[in-house]
Structure 1
């Protein structure tokens, strides 16, 4: 296993390892041209192997986010061998998910980008999931200052699949001021309500008139400690928003902006949802790059995805993958200044 670095013509850098597909550094400029590393993480591979319980920068799978009570029905058959690693629920693929395995890495390139294709075969029954799953994830860094993630997968048995990436961002720099002063826009009129374990109740609620409304950009630190029970029961923002775009088409999910540095990050995806997680469970126990101790809410995630617990919610977009089908999904993090 090793680290790899992509660099574009403008000096942006993306560093990652084929252990867990973990992105460890993203260097982008501010409005004055000064570069900073804007993603939380560690310096060494050993630290990722031993201490990455918060999933810094990692590929997540087979199922990103949560599956309630570690079980679901698939074609009338009960699948109940999933690990309970989030209370009574299953989170981010289990004990040894995509974030903790070695991926085969091979370089790819094309007009206006350089990249790396990561490949992994998840065996039938791995972490309780049915079917042998062949997965490729391609990271590209374009000369348009975009980090592109392309997911592709096939299976030999019906299974469920919902990959994402769990990068934590701070546009002030990973060791800068807390991003709670960032402005956030989320392109969504609705969100999925959850219980206090983060499992969707099945209700789809309007953001209108609530602290879940990010249709107009706002400083998210002003409402992250909202008294709204749907927010406070999860310790702050850790929710799935239903994106206001055509399902399957590449469209805008969110925009994060740091007024002090001028750095902006736009997120585009073909996925139907995005999980905005405000880093509520960071607690000062992890020391990252350069000796930085990551305290509560010193990084945020925008995880593009299908909805949590979709295998148990028939009215949510389907996460079933069948033999003969090819799963394809694209997410773009586009960096700029204003």
Structure 2
């Protein structure tokens, strides 16, 4: 296990692209001690964290969505909280509330579980839209407003939410305004036979998640986000992203929003630093587009899914 050193609060912590690549490799290796396979999904979550994005994991129960989220948070020594979304969950159960202190005869704010660096919203679609909306302000603005008073959530901040895809009759659809705030939507899928056998070997006795130790610091993640934000995006790349977005708008009932274009660029910047580059290349865009764009697109026809429409866009739009 790699030794890590903390950075004192208020001290500027600087990294370069090579440092980021080394840290990312350590985190990938650490998470794979817990999650066998799914390397692509782990990379996608890391690039989302690097690009200041949130992730929606959609799959059947039992494929490791919760363990994956927790392992990544603990690898960066982040504060981690889990919210189990249920039909009777209230917005204040997520954000917190002002509570009357009889001794002091004053109201004091008690933080909800949203006040963590990484928040896992488990089975988010089990709760009604009113409760789901408790996440929106924090996801977009990094704050929550309670009784007219604004409270900043920790920085860095990221939401990793899971969706139950089996019991559709007992769940609520996520509003488009909420879906659009998730940088990526991922599906893990079942492991291969060899991966499942390896997983069973690892979890006999003590589960590996119980022994996960940090291999990076919270200051490292903050510095990585700064490096990612500085990755060069040349004009041809920006034009390419714009043309992909416009293709979806011209060929679908609902196309990708301007926010989608921005988050696609941020995800591509995260992909670039993951591979030790200070600039975005078309391959970064083409790797990220299939998980950034489809959940924002409504094709308007049963003949072509939103994922197929995005794939068609990548095929049809040349890189100039």
Q: Find the structure with the greater CA-based Rg.
A: 2
Q: Which has the higher strand share?
A: 1
TM interval, short-chain normalised: under 0.3
Task: Name the structure, 1 or 2, with higher relative contact order (CA <8 Å, separation 6+).
Answer: 2
Q: Which structure's residues are more often helix, by fraction?
A: 2
TM-score by length of 2: 0.26
